[in-house]
Amino acid sequence: MGKFNFIITIVLLALFWEGCKQGKNEKISHIQELYFNRNNLIRDFENKSIFVRGNILILKLYTKTKENNFYFEISEASFDGIQKKFHLTHYELNDPMAMIATEGFSVEIISDKFQFAEVIETLIRKYTDTMTRYSIREVTSEFSRQGVDLKFYLEGNTSVFYVKNNPLVLNGSWKEYVTKAYKIDGHWYYYLDEQSEY
């Protein structure tokens, strides 16, 4: 009976180990896909944060000194399948002129609440479609003043981040954060499991 339990334990450990390797390989695959598409992701998400809290999606657009905040209620509508819909519930436009630099906006659209909501809802659909395509759970630029310009949160506590200019990472905690991460190149880094690795 003891020999049988030992063999079962070994088999279970081997299966567990194989499952861990497959999970790690899947994470690495997502990281590689992000990295190969890094220029598009920088273009789409630089100076933006997108995250979900409950059934509210929050979009933050950062300027040098201010941020514009948008709050969307998430609902699901079924057409050919399940598709998420986003309804702009309210917003804080702290720098309206910065919106003109964002695709699809003009002074006329900003001054028309209905057109404004339509354009921003179309824009958030574009961003969330990209996030879904690359298995991105959340994205943030909120650490750019500390030198971490863009950070992507993936499933399973995996994170990938972009540092445009390493000498600008001055804070000791952030320097340590960047130093301890796995390095892809001189600007891109990742953690497979941020909670246990950092």
The whole-number pLDDT of residue 113 equals 76
Q: Kindly state the helix (H) or strand (E) to which residue 174 belongs, with its residue range.
A: helix 172-180
Give CA–CA dist 139/173, Å, rounded.
20
The whole-number pLDDT of residue 1 equals 52
Cα-Cα-Cα-Cα dihedral sign, residues 98, 99, 104, 110? negative
Q: Is 134 exposed, middle or buried (0-12, 13-18, 19+ CB in 10 A)?
A: middle
pTM (two decimals): 0.80
The parts of the chain modelled with pLDDT lower than 70 are 1-23, 77-83, 100-107, 109, 195-198
- Which backbone phi and psi does 81 adopt, to 5 degrees? 180, -165
C-alpha radius of gyration, the chain, whole number:
21
